[in-house]
Structure 1
Amino acid sequence: MARRTPAVQAELTAPDRFRPGFDPARDKLPEPRRGGTLTLQIEALPSSLNFLLDNTSVSRRILREVHGSLLVRDLFTGEHVPELAESLVVEDTLFTRDGRRLYGELVEQGESWRVVPRSAPGHALAKAVDVPKSDVARIDRGTVFTFRLRDDVRWHDGKPLRVEDFLLTWRLSKIPEVECDSKRFMYDHLVLAEAPDSRHLRFFYDRQYFGAMAVFEGLGPLPSHVYDLRDPANPQYKSDATDAELARFVNEHPANRAWIGVGPYRITEFGNEGLEMVRTGDWWNERDSGWFERVRWRYIKDDSLAFRALAAGELDFTSRLVADDYFAAAADPQFQARAYTGFFYTPRASYIGWNLKRPELSDVRVRTALALACDWDAYIKGYYRGLAERVTAEWYDGGRDYDRSIPPLPFDLKRAKALLAEAGWYDRDGDGLVDKDGEPLAIELLSQSGNRSGEVFVQSYQQTLAQVGVRLDVAALEWPVLMERVHQRDFDGVFKVWIFPLESDPYQRWHSSQIGVGTANESSFSAPEVDRLCEAYVAEVDPERRGELSRELHRRLYAEQAYLYGVKVPHKFAIDARIRNVRLSAIDPGYRVRDWYRAE
């Protein structure tokens, strides 16, 4: 079963679209050949490659090549297609008034519903049954997923892929001590998982959910023989291991970095300078097993340094060109002789997340004043040279969920001062800082060190905030340190870039039930009406109605200013001109390494 996302279609680009002198409609690509090494920049080192524990964009980017999932989303069609599964059957659930739960294909027949079993083996129904409508409490669509696994996939240590490997992922997500709070919400409504036999998996949702299919993109397997203490195949087998013992074993396991995956490439090195992977040669899909024999992910946190490395022939690809380097490259004949540049958009935007547990930031008037004192337009013009746009939500602005009628707040220092004064913040002692109850309004902002765009922004923001009497103290931190402070809610504000899917689930970030250490509700935001909208959104399977709910949620959240929404910018890339078959997409990360090859 495949599901297409129409919003992707307009974003499709032809191979080598930006390559000078090449017309995709007219010219033919050279024949691909295997071999060689590809070197790419990564801007941060992941703490782990265990997808349950590290949900960062860098980790996801690497795992696309060294691991697999039950389903993947095709970057260029938007379809969900089986990867480690060879087939999928989706069924509905009918709940009766006397508490029964029947699943299958639901066929309406006058005064009754017929429930027809479609998945096998081990279906609860031996044959179709009819249920009078008067006995039906509710119907949930798309709530039971039955997968048949491939039988030709092996882990990188040679062991066969098993149904137990997927059940382990699901079980671990239910153990509170497993450090997967940023991802746990994905599996919250998967209330039951079973293996009817050695080739089949069946998962049950407790309710209908618009993103049910997408959950299985993130439900990859973990090698049970490595991670599960209760698996007799594990060298450290302990049949009576507690959940807490299992969690600690998983959280601290060396394989989180010495990754054992199921994918066309396997990790051979994971160090302070980056990661390296080599092609396995035994991936089940030979046509999709990669062309380069070796891929190196080189850690370079300074984007200008990465550009210079590419210009010197030490790097093949970076998608993080700063504006000055992007425009300089276009005017440099020597650079153009060996590489070229281009740009593409994926759903991502910068923002500042405020910690609403801080008393001074709990007042919406203060948060709105902080937004009014930010000169985004000057930042776009000065740093990005116009190649950026304001946003008012973390939704994909090319889709139905985004309300494009909402105007961004202007830069207005006079109004910002008035709102601060209304909230009780004004300069009582003449030192240039507004104060209240004897304390100045001083905010610490976390930012990733080495991120040039972040550095330029926070310097500008410091200056404009000073004009309304607010002191901004900047803490430039390495990414793992920054994220740990955010997870522990040890911050006032944090400047980040949010990478989000084409259809984003607002429940994880905005519902009050998600407040806590390590969750995606980093701002600790809570509002009853927003809770109601989030609950309605995730249960709505009609896209048009879901769009209406999202746009209403968008309006309410922008008024609350728990996030200071920033700008969306294109990925400005540079690539060695010998790399061919470079296709770009609106789906993160926007490209697919295993499609590329080198043609001399």
Structure 2
Amino acid sequence: MRRHPLAALLAIAIPLLSAAEDGELKGAKRPGPVQPDIYNDPVSPPPAPRRGGDLTFAEQVSFRSLDPDQDNSATTSELVHGYILESLVGSDQETWAERDGLATRWVIEDTLLLQDGSLLRGRVVQSPDGVTLDGTPVPKERIREVRLGTAFTFHLRKDVVFHNGQPFTARDVAFTWKLLRDPRNGMPSIQNYIQDISECTVLDDYTVRLVYNRQYWMALSVVGGYMYIRPHKAWDPDGLIDSDPDAFFKKLNEHPLLLKPIGTGPYQLDSLKKDFEVVLKRFDRYWDPVRTPQWPDRIRVRIIKDVNAQLQALRNGEIAYVPTMPPEIFDQFFEDPANARRFAAVENIYPAMGYIGWNHRRAIWKDKRVRWAMSHGAVDIDKFIREVLKGRAERVTGDFYRYSPSYNPDLKPIPYDPEKAADLLAEAGWWDSNNDGILDKDGKPFQFEMLIRDMPPTMPAIQMLLQMQQNLKKLGIRMEIKQLEWGAFLEKIERGDFDACRLGWALSSPPSRQDCFQIWHSSQIGEKGSNHLAYANPELDRLLEDCRRELDAAKRRDLEFRIQRLLYDEQPEIYLYMPAEHRAYDKAWRNVKFYVPRPGHALNEWSRIAP
């Protein structure tokens, strides 16, 4: 799965949302209309939106890059996508349906791979009598493979310009395809999707055809939505990607546009002060201001690592929006009547899931009995949700969105059972042979380091690890907690230089379209690969590949359930809970909507009405 607009992303382990009486999280969970200002004081008649003002919000972590494919963290992608960079196909935040984007329309065709290696394109009909292409029979003996829905011809808008004034054309699509597909780009999380797009043909300035070399149920979502289009003249003025690709990719990591992106979106980069602030300003030549309004003059992202400092900045009027905070701090903040009068209290679902991951490069995690022991004995997740998160979370047992048909409801959360954990460890050969209080096996003590990004001790993720540390100590396991600054943390994760980690995946946007290939297929193991836990299983690989090829939704659902069952049985990580988000914003801002698909807000829609 990835971040915007489809699959999942590496994200911080974040706090959650309040639960309804039936045990589910509050708020919308599925597609549907979203009303503005439901968290604000009612006003009649509703004020009309208007342009003006700077909308400043806080972010806890800084940016290594502002390119959403080089830095695939949710923080970067959620800032850049939809504001700076755009794709050929968009996604409606309310209906979750695909809609026109930089392409006004598209034609989808099938392909036939013939025995001689040539490719035919058109409308394929298969029947017991044979195969026809656009009504013409094709002898079966000539066909090597039938690929349904694999050729996409996009008709592009002619009124779009990039932020630097250059016109958007099909050549920008072709350049982006070449950039993202090449294994030298250092962007494996996107490359695993784009690498199967084997052909990109510029038919004219405003028509481009992209062809997949294999059948894939999410092909339109990927080819239309995953490629954030870059201006080829700004990225590659000398045409090196064609004439000397080695030279182009050798210098790619130093390219200035990685920190100064140029796109076609409603906002363009105004300034960047690393580790302090990113400022976007309205792009006055934007092509779609009606469907995508640009009410704020500027959108400012202020880096404030401590949540309490963020809330103080909110009170002081330095920022207008705190997009995430722990439930306890949220409750305390809104217990103050003055805060409740000035700021809106928001609780809504955030489609993500937290986990504790084991680095399977380490011998200690090779034994499934040990992993099951950790799932039973590391942390009492139900108690943690009840006492620390105030009941504001919902446990999950797999990677799929909790409220989608793809989620397997037959898999029940694993109960906290330290006695069962101790039995499994003993069965796996872990004993305290020298009475030092630490289990050992073959002369090696059971000890490991848990990696997490640096955050205050009030954050739920840290509180969970402290509880886990004590629980494991009782089982005879020594766990050390190591906190690192976000960039250094991600570097260790990407290199596979860790024993275990506390992290989370931000799910697809919209969360109804998910593909676990990116995070679990063995081909995604490696530096910067999303399978950073290095879990490899040939049966899982086969299921993931079959799932990608399956176009029938019911058959694909069966494969998705089998994928989740296998991962549940193997326990390569501890699945924790699905988050909801606690937010606070200044009530002076109106026309505020909160959506289910990430990031949950569209800041370009917010309008400052009150002074």
Q: TM-score, normalised by structure 2?
A: 0.90
Q: Give the letter aligned to residue 251 of structure 1.
A: N
Asked if 1:546 is matched to 2:550, the reply is no
Tell whether the 8 Å contact from 1:307 to 1:325 is kept in structure 2 after alignment: no
Counterpart pick for 1:285 among 263, 271, 288: 288
Q: Give the letter aligned to residue 233 of structure 2.
A: H
Aligned counterpart, 2:11? none
1:61-80 map, 5 Å: 61-63=78-80, 64-80=82-98
Could you say what secondary structure the match of 1:76 adopts? Answer: coil
Count residues in correspondence: 575
Tell whether the 8 Å contact from 2:182 to 2:195 is kept in structure 1 after alignment: no
Could you say what secondary structure the match of 1:420 adopts? Answer: helix
Could you say what secondary structure the match of 1:251 adopts? Answer: helix
Tell whether the 8 Å contact from 2:30 to 2:596 is kept in structure 1 after alignment: no
1:140-289 map, 5 Å: 140-215=147-222, 216-228=224-236, 230-231=238-239, 240-241=243-244, 243-271=245-273, 272-287=275-290, 288-289=292-293
What's the CA shift for 1:140?
2.2
Find the aligned partners of 1:239 and 1:102 in 2 and give their Cα distance: 26
* Deviating more after overlay: 88-97 vs 314-323: 88-97
Find the aligned partners of 1:80 and 1:587 in 2 and give their Cα distance: 13
Aligned counterpart, 1:357? 361
What's the CA shift for 1:97?
5.0
Aligned counterpart, 2:452? 447
Aligned counterpart, 1:367? 371
Aligned counterpart, 2:395? 390
Aligned counterpart, 1:575? 585
Tell whether the 8 Å contact from 2:188 to 2:524 is kept in structure 1 after alignment: no
Aligned counterpart, 2:146? 139
* Deviating more after overlay: 189-198 vs 505-514: 505-514
Asked if 1:32 is matched to 2:49, the reply is yes
1:310-349 map, 5 Å: 310-349=314-353
Find the aligned partners of 1:100 and 1:129 in 2 and give their Cα distance: 17
Aligned counterpart, 1:528? 538
What's the CA shift for 1:33?
0.7
Tell whether the 8 Å contact from 1:347 to 1:395 is kept in structure 2 after alignment: no
Aligned counterpart, 2:24? none
Q: Give the letter aligned to residue 282 of structure 1.
A: R
Aligned counterpart, 1:308? 312
Tell whether the 8 Å contact from 2:402 to 2:578 is kept in structure 1 after alignment: no
Question: Per the alignment, do residues 256 and 532 of structure 1 end up closer, same or farther by CA in structure 2, a change over 3 Å counting?
Answer: same
Could you say what secondary structure the match of 2:185 adopts? Answer: coil
Q: Give the letter aligned to residue 432 of structure 1.
A: G
What's the CA shift for 1:430?
1.4
What's the CA shift for 1:443?
1.2
Q: Give the letter aligned to residue 227 of structure 1.
A: W
Q: Give the letter aligned to residue 252 of structure 2.
A: V
Tell whether the 8 Å contact from 2:449 to 2:480 is kept in structure 1 after alignment: yes
Could you say what secondary structure the match of 1:329 adopts? Answer: helix
1:378-417 map, 5 Å: 378-417=383-422
Find the aligned partners of 1:430 and 1:108 in 2 and give their Cα distance: 70
1:431-580 map, 5 Å: 431-450=436-455, 452-501=459-508, 502=511, 503-580=513-590
Question: Per the alignment, do residues 32 and 245 of structure 1 end up closer, same or farther by CA in structure 2, a change over 3 Å counting?
Answer: same
Tell whether the 8 Å contact from 2:345 to 2:585 is kept in structure 1 after alignment: yes
Aligned counterpart, 2:72? 55
Q: Name structure 2 gaps, 5 residues minimum.
A: 7-27
What's the CA shift for 1:105?
2.4
Aligned counterpart, 2:10? none
Aligned counterpart, 1:234? none
What's the CA shift for 1:539?
0.6
Tell whether the 8 Å contact from 1:259 to 1:267 is kept in structure 2 after alignment: yes
Please list the CA deviations of residues 291-315 of structure 1 after superposition, one character each: whole Å capped at 9, or x if unmatched. 0001101112222322232233222
Find the aligned partners of 1:590 and 1:210 in 2 and give their Cα distance: 25
Find the aligned partners of 1:353 and 1:277 in 2 and give their Cα distance: 35
Q: Give the letter aligned to residue 300 of structure 1.
A: I
What's the CA shift for 1:12?
4.5
Tell whether the 8 Å contact from 2:32 to 2:95 is kept in structure 1 after alignment: no
Q: TM-score, normalised by structure 1?
A: 0.91
Question: Per the alignment, do residues 83 and 357 of structure 1 end up closer, same or farther by CA in structure 2, a change over 3 Å counting?
Answer: same
Please list the CA deviations of residues 514-561 of structure 1 after superposition, one character each: whole Å capped at 9, or x if unmatched. 222211111111112111211111111112211111111111101111
Counterpart pick for 2:601 among 577, 586, 591: 591
Find the aligned partners of 1:145 and 1:239 in 2 and give their Cα distance: 23
Counterpart pick for 2:38 among 17, 38, 49: 17
Find the aligned partners of 1:67 and 1:584 in 2 and give their Cα distance: 21
Asked if 1:105 is matched to 2:134, the reply is no
Q: Give the letter aligned to residue 14 of structure 1.
A: Q
Please list the CA deviations of residues 312-369 of structure 1 after superposition, one character each: whole Å capped at 9, or x if unmatched. 3222112212111222233221011111112111320110121101011111111111
RMSD: 2.2
Tell whether the 8 Å contact from 1:80 to 1:213 is kept in structure 2 after alignment: no
Q: Name structure 1 gaps, 5 residues minimum.
A: 117-127, 232-236
RCO higher in structure (CA 8 A, sep ≥6): 2
Q: Give the letter aligned to residue 262 of structure 1.
A: T
Tell whether the 8 Å contact from 2:182 to 2:191 is kept in structure 1 after alignment: no
What's the CA shift for 1:420?
1.2
Please list the CA deviations of residues 203-260 of structure 1 after superposition, one character each: whole Å capped at 9, or x if unmatched. 00112111112212121222222222642xxxxx69742x332112222112211222
Question: Per the alignment, do residues 311 and 189 of structure 1 end up closer, same or farther by CA in structure 2, a change over 3 Å counting?
Answer: same
Find the aligned partners of 1:107 and 1:539 in 2 and give their Cα distance: 18
What's the CA shift for 1:563?
1.3
Could you say what secondary structure the match of 1:296 adopts? Answer: strand
Q: Give the letter aligned to residue 228 of structure 1.
A: D
Could you say what secondary structure the match of 1:404 adopts? Answer: coil
Tell whether the 8 Å contact from 2:29 to 2:349 is kept in structure 1 after alignment: no
Tell whether the 8 Å contact from 1:354 to 1:494 is kept in structure 2 after alignment: yes
Tell whether the 8 Å contact from 1:40 to 1:317 is kept in structure 2 after alignment: yes
What's the CA shift for 1:275?
0.4
Same amino acid, percent of matched pairs: 31
Tell whether the 8 Å contact from 1:283 to 1:289 is kept in structure 2 after alignment: no
